[in-house]
């Protein structure tokens, strides 16, 4: 299980001036030079890069505000006449900024990234059995009479909608529980997620729910494809 990620302020790599706030961690206020891009880790710590606490439920408006604020500070156009190492630092940090923003602003991408960051391996693909069985019946019915196929498809879509709503509620509750555990870790000064019970078990459960989400999204695409093709009735 990975660390509870925390950003720690440092000093400018160019002039050793303390980096006191979010923007100065990217461009030093004293010497005006962009800081070298952080060492690439797999995956990168986008939370630390944006100067925000690691959470599953983020204020996307605040994230967007930080994105544009950092972008204005780091943009390569500001360093066109700077030294080569400063131009490179600007470009590399802007790359991380854009990657991080794309990942963190999307709720599903953020869930998958969070698990990767925490070092949780992906669980086996979970399939809601009742939904899978009915989907098989729907596919079989497409070669039967049109009325029978339409009735089975309608039943399936009703069950699919109900399953999706229930799944969304479960994931939201789990997100809140995990965020509460992270707040507990920070309050206790813990630095490793395995020290925060029951966080390891919650993250494993989240991994299972993500596999359900992947299945539901794939199934939704299959339903649209099947409806577009129409029944191949005798």
d(CA 136, CA 152): 10
Nearest to 166 by CA among 122, 216, 119: 216
Which tens digit of pLDDT belongs to each residue from 17-70?
A: 998 877 788 999 999 999 998 887 788 889 989 988 889 999 999 999 999 999
pLDDT in the model for residue 1: 40
d(CA 135, CA 223): 9
For the chain, which residues make up each domain, given as ranges? Answer: 23-117, 129-229
Low-confidence ranges of the chain (pLDDT < 50): 1-6, 193-194, 234
d(CA 99, CA 70): 13
pLDDT in the model for residue 184: 83
Domain 23-117 grouped into CATH 3.40.50.620: no
pLDDT in the model for residue 139: 84
pLDDT in the model for residue 172: 95
pLDDT in the model for residue 151: 87
pLDDT in the model for residue 27: 94
pLDDT in the model for residue 118: 84
């Amino acid at each position: 299980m990975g660390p509870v990620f925390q950003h720690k302020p440092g000093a400018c790599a160019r002039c050793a001036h303390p980096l006191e706030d979010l923007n100065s961690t990217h461009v030093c206020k004293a010497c005006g030079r962009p800081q070298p891009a952080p060492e690439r880790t797999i995956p990168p710590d986008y939370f630390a890069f944006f100067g925000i606490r690691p959470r599953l439920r983020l204020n996307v408006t605040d994230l967007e505000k930080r994105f544009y604020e950092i972008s204005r500070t780091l943009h390569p156009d500001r360093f066109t006449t700077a030294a080569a190492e400063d131009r490179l630092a600007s470009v590399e940090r802007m790359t991380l900024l854009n990657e991080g923003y794309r990942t963190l602003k999307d709720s599903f991408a953020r869930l998958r990234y969070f698990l990767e960051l925490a070092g949780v391996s992906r669980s086996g693909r979970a399939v809601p059995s009742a939904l899978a069985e009915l989907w098989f019946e729907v596919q079989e019915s497409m070669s039967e009479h049109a009325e029978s196929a339409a009735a089975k498809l309608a039943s399936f879509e009703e069950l699919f909608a109900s399953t999706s709503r229930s799944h969304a509620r479960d994931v939201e509750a789990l997100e809140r529980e995990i965020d509460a555990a992270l707040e507990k870790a920070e309050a206790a000064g813990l630095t490793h997620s395995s020290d925060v019970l029951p966080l390891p078990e919650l993250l494993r459960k989240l991994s299972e729910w993500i596999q359900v989400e992947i299945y539901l999204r794939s199934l939704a695409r299959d339903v649209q494809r099947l409806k577009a093709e129409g029944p191949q009735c005798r």
